[in-house]
Amino acid sequence: MSWGGLLALAIAVRAIVEVAARKAAPGAPSRGPAGAWSTPVTIVLVPIAIPLAIGLAAGQLWCALLLAPLAPLIAPWLVARHAIIPLGLPRAAYYVALLSDWTWRADRRGGAALAAAWALCRARRPDPAAEAWISERLEGAGQRDDAGRGGGGAAPAAPAAPAEPLRGAGVAAGAMLAAYRDDVDGARALFASVAGLDERACPREARRIAAGWLAADAAARGDWAAVVERAADGGGRATALLGAAAARLLGEPAAPGALELWLRWLAAPRRRATLPLVRRALAAGDGAPRPGPEEPEPCAARVAEGDLWSRAVLLHATLLLRPRGKVSGDDLRRLGGAWDAALEDERAQAELRERALSLGASGAQAALGPLARAVEEDLAAALRAARVPLAAWDDLGATIGRTRRRLRDELLSEVEIACDALRRRVDERRELPALSEWREWTALRAQYEAAAELVGAEFRRLAFPKLHADVCHAAVWLFNTRKERAIGNAMFRWLLAEAEALEDSRLAGLQRANVACGV
């Protein structure tokens, strides 16, 4: 029998062992314990591989022919990661990574899907068939053996459950597929959510890959502070290099020196691609970061002294014309103060009364009311677009205060609508694939957290009771009914952290009990 035939036979034997284990414990996830596969491989094949490796090192090239089919069995993830994924072979990456008991443990199928999605991202040309093939395995197209059995002939068959629950590697695989589809925001949210899963349900390699992708994404956007933060979470040699370069670009006191940076570059992969970044970081020097170009003075500075209305209008126009990322808290406070001064100016009030009388209006307030509301709407829209946190723009001015209340009410209403939609779907038992369930939850959580950052702790105190009731209801359904214990547990853990942050002892006690149920 050829070595290729032996490899195929080994994979078939692995499948038979797994099916037997499932029949012995129906409903239990395939955990891939070391004793079921990795230990026999270690005991039988490693002693064979060692003399072959010694012979190869001694110059016996024929040993490579014998080692080649053993490598995917002895070190499947090493082969998939460094040989198959760079070649862009999704199906081969899936089946070889499926043998990685030591790497993926209880999430072998999620790890295999992650390897396949990663290989798809490295492929030279788009492959819709491979994309659909990976999606089917990731979203649970494979069903349990006993699904749909036992029902009466006239009764419609119930939806079959996925073969395995969603875990950390499966979430990372979904993120990698989103990146392949150019859904960068979705990929970023899914990769970031990997850290929220319990360590027992998330293999370390999935966390490492997620941290590495997020660090590379932050570097591509020039968000060097985020790169340093991601590098602190681990992520491998490439992430460590990005973190060191980012620290130098930020001018941090603890930034590595030139020699350490070059050593990190030599140890990291893809040295040709990262060389320009290393040179840029070296050019930044060991001191403080170079000052950027000075911002031009606002056009309102050219307004005549004492012309409060013109100053407010020109500042308003300047704010609306600025790019989204260039709006700062100082801009918002300056504009709010300008409108406060203009709306409260006695001379402006008198001019408005005279003009209102000439137009037959009831008074100055009839004109000021709509104007003030339009100003608040524009300020609220600018805040939402620029995502300026409350601490950067809040003050005691009347215009800013009204804007904050308006924005708080809008965001509160939107979060409540999203919570109602989630609860209604759960009550109606409208199931989504596990990854889609997780994406819905991460989107709701991101909406809540972004709103809290914009309008502060008051929003959290108002929104959390509603959010807690509906999200806990969904998490219990996922945990108990759908057996998606990993993602249900992650939702419980987030609710617990938020309840503790808001010092709600009753809800915190409830979530401690839920978290204690495990994964």
Type of residue numbered 46: V
DSSP string, 364-418: HHHHHHHHHHHHHHHHHHHHHHHT--HHHH--S-HHHHHHHHHHHHHHHHHHHHH
Distance CA 487, CA 390 (A): 31
- Measured torsion, CA atoms of residues 68, 69, 75, 76, in degrees rounded to the nearest 10: 120
C-alpha atoms less than 13 angstroms from C-alpha of 411 in its C-beta half-sphere: 30
Distance CA 336, CA 323 (A): 19
pTM: 0.77
Distance CA 8, CA 515 (A): 42
User: Which residues are CB-neighbours of 466 under 8 A, at least 6 positions away?
Assistant: 415, 416, 419
Residue with tokens 């939850």: 441
Residue with tokens 């994404």: 217
Distance CA 244, CA 242 (A): 5
Contact 472, 507 (CB under 8 A): no
pLDDT one digit per residue (tens) for the chain, 519 residues: 444 454 455 555 555 545 444 444 444 444 444 445 565 666 666 667 677 677 767 777 766 776 666 777 778 888 899 899 999 999 999 999 988 888 888 888 999 999 999 999 999 888 899 999 999 888 764 343 333 333 333 333 334 334 578 999 999 999 999 999 999 999 999 999 999 899 989 999 999 999 999 999 999 988 898 998 888 877 788 888 998 899 888 888 888 888 888 998 998 888 888 899 989 888 886 544 454 444 554 554 465 566 777 777 787 787 777 776 677 777 777 777 777 777 777 776 676 667 666 666 555 555 566 777 787 787 777 777 777 777 666 766 777 778 888 888 899 999 999 999 999 999 999 999 999 999 999 999 999 998 998 888 889 999 999 999 999 999 999 999 999 999 999 999 999 999 999 999 999 999 999 999 988
User: Which residues are CB-neighbours of 98 under 8 A, at least 6 positions away?
Assistant: 76, 108, 109, 111, 112
Residue 406: closest CA among 367, 360, 373, 429: 373
Q: Tokens at residue 458, please?
A: 């008051």
Residue 162 has phi, psi (to 5 degrees) of -65, 155
Type of residue numbered 246: A
Residue with tokens 């990291």: 268
DSSP string, 466-494: HHHHHHHHHHHIIIIIS--HHHHHHHHHH
Distance CA 192, CA 189 (A): 5
Q: Tokens at residue 69, please?
A: 């089919």
